[in-house]
Chain A
Amino acid sequence: MTSTEQSYKILVVDDEPDLEPLVLQRMRRHIRAGRYQFVFAHNGVEALEKLNEDDTIDMVLSDINMPQMDGLTLLEQIPKVDPNIRSVIISAYGDMKNIRTAMNRGAFDFVTKPVDFEDLQVTIDRTLRHMAEWRDALESRDKLVALQNELNVATGMQQSILPTKFPQNASYEVYGKMQAARNVGGDFFDVITLDEGRVGLAVADVSDKGVPAALFMMSSRTLLKGAAIGHALPGDVLQEVNDLLLEDNEGGMFVTVLYAVYDPATKEMTYSSGGHNSPLLVHADGTSKLLSLTDGVALGIVSGIPYGQNTVTLSPGDSVILYTDGVTEAMNADEEEFGLDPLMERFNANPPSDPEETTTVVFDAVNTFAGEMPQSDDITCLVLHCREEPS
């Protein structure tokens, strides 16, 4: 479907002169390999000229504050040139107002200053993958191909928004994975780098399948990332995402989300549920418990409602497992549900110590349990492990 060997052209718009040499230097391997081509403009007016001259530009990466025409105005103009171009905004950290405006004007994603080039690279890849999927979606709509193709496209879009890199850290580790069901699906997860060393962790389940649901999933993810940077409390994050989703939700879609913020300095994890399953806390000795749920409604249904939060302090060696109902509701041939007990028993015998391995244990256990039964829902698992202190 999508060839990663394809070459993409990216227009970088910034009035500050130091970004151009930095991009060329940091991205030199991709440029040499022919994967990316960069063109540069120094304000919105110049950017529009470049876009009008060159119809092979795939993506725009733009600063917000610029002379003559700023990035937000540029965002409004880009679809008039080519509605298939995807834009990513460079914003100041925590500048929720501009990030929101940018997203309302169709920005696909954003990166914060100072630009972390590894993060930028991941964001560019994700955006380009999404764009390729989107073009496929448009083509298949033109040809009126079967629902199955639409679902393939939706699954591709779904995969394109998942993180592929996880934070490596002296005090904690994170790993996540999503296994898409063949026909149905709406799960996603995200790992969001926050200020002061904190990290945001989210797992979510969108209520429908197909391209509209995939688009709803995209906006949920972007809104969540934006809100996560704008608010310290997980409940406030969910409240904001809920209200923003309701501004434009004709399809009656909703998304359940478990959003947690972990602060390695205090080892406190604060979490909020928007109609989602409780996280499972597993201690170093193998004992485990379900964390008590905050009673929030799934997002996208009722506006203006508050979301609460709970805080738990982790001990070294603890793991927190976030998951979707694809895990607990996996079914075997006898129509029994998997639940969580088999996992708790397994962890009791072998306490988890490595998040990637823990994720594998979860998926293997669910898949073995389900046996020959077809997977009826996406399965997602995101694990946070608080490392043992060196003795």
Chain B
Amino acid sequence: MEVATERQGDTLIAKTDGRIDGANAREFQSELESAINSNDGAVLLDMERLSYISSAGLRVILLMAKVLQARNAKFAICSLSASIREVFEISGFDKIISIHPSQAEALAAFKN
């Protein structure tokens, strides 16, 4: 699992690959925490190259969403493979986190 980041305006785009499970969820959390600046207006997690996420990984995403929501920053995820999308659907996370098919659509939604 690696987290690669880039910025577009005040939006942080973080791309994650590999697997996020109980063994590396904490590492994933600290990488995201150090990547996110307090003045980022929006954070987008691109999961195109993510192969697996466990509930421990979902918890990190939930924590990020809560932290960002608390300071009125936007948060979304995008480019989920079918199996990752299923994890979000079964857990009900698709009802609490914005999911977009692509980066472009997510970034467009941030502008609204």
Residues of A within 8 A of B (CB): 181, 183-186, 205-209, 252-254, 256, 273-278, 293, 295-298, 301-302, 325, 329, 331, 335, 337, 376-377
Contacts and interface: CB of A to CB of B under 8 A. Distances in A.
13 contacts: A184-B23, A184-B56, A205-B55, A207-B55, A254-B59, A278-B90, A295-B92, A298-B93, A301-B92, A301-B96, A325-B55, A337-B83, A377-B21
B59 A252 contact: yes
Interface string B2-45: 00000000000000000001110100000000000000000000
B90 A293 contact: yes
Contacts of A276: 90-91
Given A207-B55, A207-B56, A337-B83, A184 B91 contact: no
Most buried by A among B21, B51, B63, B66: B21
Given A184-B54, A298-B93, A329-B52, 6 more contacts: A207-B55, A207-B59, A209-B56, A254-B62, A325-B87, A376-B54
Size band of the interface chain B makes with A: 20 to 34
B96 A302 contact: yes
B54 A377 contact: yes
Q: Describe B's contact surface by its main secondary structure.
A: helix
B71 interface: no
Nearest to A331: B52
B95 interface: yes
Q: Describe A's contact surface by its main secondary structure.
A: loop
A128 to B, nearest CB: 29
Contacts of A302: 96
B85 to A, nearest CB: 14
B54 A297 contact: no
Interface of B: 21-23, 25, 51-52, 54-56, 58-59, 62-63, 66, 83, 87, 90-93, 95-96
A275 B22 contact: no
Nearest to B90: A277
A321 to B, nearest CB: 16
A186 B91 CA distance: 15
B92 A274 contact: yes
Given A181-B22, A254-B62, A377-B21, A275 B56 contact: no
B91 A298 contact: yes
Contacts of B91: 256, 275-276, 297-298
Nearest to B62: A252
B75 to A, nearest CB: 14
Nearest to A205: B55
Given A277-B90, A297-B93, A298-B93, A184 B51 contact: no
Most buried by B among A181, A295, A301, A335: A301
A297 B56 contact: no
Given A184-B21, A376-B21, A297 B63 contact: no
A376 B93 contact: no
Contacts of A207: 55-56, 58-59
